[in-house]
Structure 1
């Protein structure tokens, strides 16, 4: 039997908000923490969607791991180099990645993403971590042939379903040091990426502080911190993704996502 929102409210004594953003930012999370409420629900029969459905911004960092920059023959930047993804790129942790048939070089990128918990502008590095609501996995799917054809990343990374994420938002208080977390990508069971977030060039406090100097970071913004080495691009061992490939991504302490690639007709 699938519980309704009314069932959940009755069992917990807390009214269920209409959105995850309301739960995170409008007092429900703090109320549950204060009351020490626990709740379990079997997810059979549910479709698990992206943990946050309409973030104000999705910001992805490029070349932010030393080993990834090296494999791409790129000098590690001294500050955050960013790409914006549209929110229509978001999809759930177990949903198919729907790739247009004209794409020939589809690639994966496991990334540690964080969700902003409060609005900030010109925040210091010392205060920056206090603005993080939580963490999740994000696959920064990229059409490499479109990337090089266009000469920039926007369309190549911005197509529908090119940001599988989840499986949930792990709140910041549960992660003592996000930079110590292990990241693993497997394609059809073969390990492609295996690293820790310690390989970041620009770390999370610096990312937040430096971005906030030029733009207001808002509650619910998703910021994805770059990918380690092991992507298909320029790899002599791995090919680009094909129809039916299964991508499994896991980040220590954050869970795992699994998505199958489906190419649409040209």
Structure 2
């Protein structure tokens, strides 16, 4: 009995609603379409979060091995941080399920690390440290009730232009260099797959049209970067030019 109660608690906390639990386990209606959509959304969401724990680690390790951030745009990283921060703080303040936004937390930490490394390998370590301190302070303020919710909502509205501009900067950087530099293939492809999957989970779990549209746009531009990576795959590294 204890094991059954534990299983029910886990399922209700992470995968199913009370109604869907009854449909699957009491009514034995395992083909209940609305509940199957909820289950699929939850599984995808948790899978995205699990993948996000390491999605940018290949990128970080590639930078550390090369001791270089050639081909990476700091401006693009800053705009990506703006986008991730908007999604994370907006979701937390609106009490959305963790499965619908949790990857933003891990992407934020890893993107912030990349931003610091760009400054570090450019000989601007003090600016990298300042980035960490200022960003931490801003996120803390956004999560506190002292910051009006309308401000956080406005930040979320900036997500789409931030995504577009940040991806365009990286796309143009890749085009000018004729190479994708220190971009990691694993990271790029995982980001593309995750943004596509998030379209479905956002529709299913939040119903927030702004978030859905943001992920649609993000998927399109992530797809362009993934295509560039494939096109420039065989270009020698000595053709990389240093980006700002």
**What TM-score do you get using the length of structure 2 for normalisation?**
0.25
Q: Which structure has greater strand proportion? A: 1
Q: Which structure has greater helix proportion? A: 2
**Greater Rg over alpha carbons, structure:** 2
